[in-house]
Amino acid sequence: QQQVKQSPQSLIVQKGGISIINCAYENTAFDYFPWYQQFPGKGPALLIAIRPDVSEKKEGRFTISFNKSAKQFSLHIMDSQPGDSATYFCAASPQSARQLTFGSGTQLTVLP
Amino acid sequence: DVKVTQSSRYLVKRTGEKVFLECVQDMDHENMFWYRQDPGLGLRLIYFSYDVKMKEKGDIPEGYSVSREKKERFSLILESASTNQTSMYLCASRAWAASNQPQHFGDGTRLSIL
């Protein structure tokens, strides 16, 4: 079963704090792991992505950590800001696949 | 920037009606997708098309069909709408068939079936 399990379903963080969202997968053929960000009233947009040949990828305040042996990956948002309040989706796919498998989403609220 | 336009933001239809959701992309992308988004279930793929007149079923195709007669346009059809198809529907496009290419989403159509 090509599932990606995402937690938590919702997250509330104070401004300046660290937001952490976790995802786990089962299919060992997955080798591409993107995160999408969705603001209210908008469609999701690609935020950051990682391949399993690296354990971490950082873009500004956003970092993906990847643990291949545990089949887990996570999104860390450092110095979280109210403007980061959105729904975040992890996803995974084998490189050869035409489609992504998405997690169930995490609604992040950053309090001012 | 890629623009994916969905024809309606909100749509209300009645049970048994045939419903058409339209999506247009302006970047000559080969691939297009239809998802439905429900709370706690994430994004679930209904159908995708990798070229004109070509389509493949996604995870939840039952009760839906699609049409892609032109490269820029991908239509989702609810043959006989039912209340359990009340949902947010998202269209996306992608340049070509490689999973590591980003998908570009429209802003969604919130469909209510009464």
Helices and strands (DSSP H and E) totals, chain A:
0, 11
Chain centre to alpha carbon of residue B82 = 17
CA distance A30 to chain B (A): 10
Contacts of B48 in chain A (CB under 8 A): 98-99
Contacts of B93 in chain A (CB under 8 A): none
At residue A108 the predicted structure's pLDDT band, cuts being 50, 70 and 90, is very high
| pLDDT tens-digit series, residues A39-96 | 999 999 999 999 888 899 999 999 999 999 999 999 999 999 999 999 999 999 887 6
- The rounded radius of gyration (Å) of the Cα atoms in chain B is 13
CA distance A15 to chain B (A): 25
Across the interface, whether the CB atoms of A100 and B99 are under 8 A apart is answered yes
Find the angle CA(B73)-CA(A42)-CA(A109) to the nearest 5 degrees: 155
Q: Which of B48, B56, B107 sits opposite A42 (nearest CB)?
A: B107
| pLDDT tens-digit series, residues B59-82 | 999 999 999 999 999 999 999 999
Nearest CA to A75 out of A57, A63, A61 is that of A63
Count CB neighbours of B56 within 10 A. Answer: 13
- Between A and B, how many CB-CB pairs are < 8 A? 59
Across the interface, whether the CB atoms of B99 and A43 are under 8 A apart is answered no
| pLDDT of the residue at B83 | 97
Q: What is the mean pLDDT of residues B22-35?
A: 94
